[in-house]
Amino acid sequence: MSVQHLADFADECPEQEPAGRKVAARLSGASVKFGRFTALENINLEIGEGEFWTILGPSGCGKSTMLRLVSDLVPTAEGEVTILDKSTEAARLAREFAFVFQDATLLPWRSALKNVELPLEMGRKRGLKIPASDRSPQELLELVGLKGRENALPHELSGGMRQRVAIARALVCKPKLLLMDEPFGALDEMKRDLLNLKLREIWQETGVTILFVTHSISEAVFLGQKVLMLRANPGRVMDVVDIDLPPDRNIALRETPEFNRYCGRLRQLLEEC
């Protein structure tokens, strides 16, 4: 089936949302402006609870800005954004979401375990009621594959290991939504593949909703249930592509015709951006 046939089939058979689907994040006519520059314009999206979305688009299309908008780091110029039917500010104060950046941003004098414990410790010091994960910080480090490295300092860990610590730290307050801004962008291909597998496992085990920014078409297809393609100047929604691949994925999946058809479709969309 050609890329065009795939697109035609998707247009003819729109996906029906399951009854009772809960919305983790809703953007309604949302726009972001920095002075006279419009970074995002008229974004309308509904991200269901427990879904895994990846975000693609050319440089400058507002991928990172969208995550910052959802996380209450930048305000809307127009429209509205809600997280679990709360304002972004209320969701931030309730610790409904967590952010993983491209740099792990670990405190160098604290061990892996102490870095994971940091959000809980800060919450206690401020007298805040912080929701705790069903898993202890030690169990979260085991979940991300770092059992036995609890006492290692950041400089004793590889870049991929540091990012795993950052993911465990993000999960320690049991967020409903996990925002990830190119967290594996600086890693070599082999480490990225391993962390893609690990992230899929974490998502399936925890049920957390994930929004994941990437510049890699193959990473977007491998990780996501849906790929959001943004168009630049100003940033706006071009398409949302449903990825109908098996839930249990392995690296060999990338060699299949189905996988490569999705990559081809997204590459074509990027060329049209």
Residue 72 lies in a domain: yes
With the CA atoms of 17, 4, 262 and 59 taken in that order, what torsion angle do they form, in degrees rounded to the nearest 10?
Answer: -100
Count of domains observed in the chain = 2
192 and 168 share a domain? no
Residue 242 lies in a domain: yes
Residue 101 lies in a domain: no
Bridge partners of 251? none
Residue ending a domain, among 174, 190, 210, is 174
- What's the DSSP call for residue 146? -
pTM: 0.89
Task: 60-63: list long-range contacts, CB under 8 Å, 24+ apart.
Answer: 60/232, 60/233, 60/235, 61/230, 61/231, 61/232, 61/233, 61/235, 61/273, 62/32, 62/230, 62/232, 62/234, 62/235, 63/181, 63/213, 63/230, 63/235
Q: Which residue has the tokens 């990780």?
A: 223
Closest CA to 121 of 169, 163, 73, 166: 169
In the β-sheet with 52-56, what is the strand arrangement from edge to edge?
97-100, 177-181, 209-213, 52-56, 226-231, 236-242
Residue 103 lies in a domain: no
Residue 197's CATH number: 3.40.50.300
Q: What is the pLDDT along the chain (273 residues), one digit of tens a residue?
A: 343 443 443 343 334 444 567 899 999 999 999 999 999 999 999 999 999 999 999 999 999 999 999 999 999 999 999 999 999 999 998 889 999 999 999 999 999 999 999 998 887 777 766 666 778 999 999 999 999 999 999 999 999 999 999 999 999 999 999 999 999 988 888 889 999 999 999 999 999 999 999 999 999 999 999 999 999 999 999 999 999 999 999 999 999 999 999 999 999 999 987
233 and 130 share a domain? no
- C-alpha 98/C-alpha 95 separation (Å) is 7
Note down the domain range covering 253: 1-11+24-96+179-273
Closest CA to 218 of 56, 86, 104, 108: 56
Q: Which residue has the tokens 């078409």?
A: 217
Residue ending a domain, among 152, 174, 196, is 174
Residue ending a domain, among 174, 204, 224, is 174
185 and 248 share a domain? yes
156 and 189 share a domain? no
